[in-house]
Amino acid sequence: MNDSKFSFVQKIRNKIRIDKNTIIEIYENVKVVRSSIIIKGVNNKLIIHKNTKIFASNLEIIVP
């Protein structure tokens, strides 16, 4: 199967919830499958560098 035929959103198929002024940077060749990313708090930044694979994970960042 050729992944290039799918859009970025179709490749993710995950749950992402963020609060105000949060930045998520996702670089090339990142695969996130069946995962949940929740960021609570303001002015946070999550960087997922190239060639990263996240599979069946729950990532939760809580900053008061």
Instruction: Report the pLDDT value the prediction gives residue 50, as an integer from 0 to 100.
Output: 94
Instruction: Report the pLDDT value the prediction gives residue 1, as an integer from 0 to 100.
Output: 43
> Dihedral sign, CA of 17, 36, 27, 11?
negative
Instruction: Report the pLDDT value the prediction gives residue 7, as an integer from 0 to 100.
Output: 59
Instruction: Report the pLDDT value the prediction gives residue 20, as an integer from 0 to 100.
Output: 84
Q: How many domains does the chain have?
A: 1
Instruction: Report the pLDDT value the prediction gives residue 15, as an integer from 0 to 100.
Output: 84
pLDDT truncated to tens, each residue of the chain (64 aa)? 445 565 555 555 678 888 888 999 999 999 888 899 999 998 899 999 999 999 889 999 998 7
Range of the domain at 10: 3-62
Token representation of residue 58: 């729950």
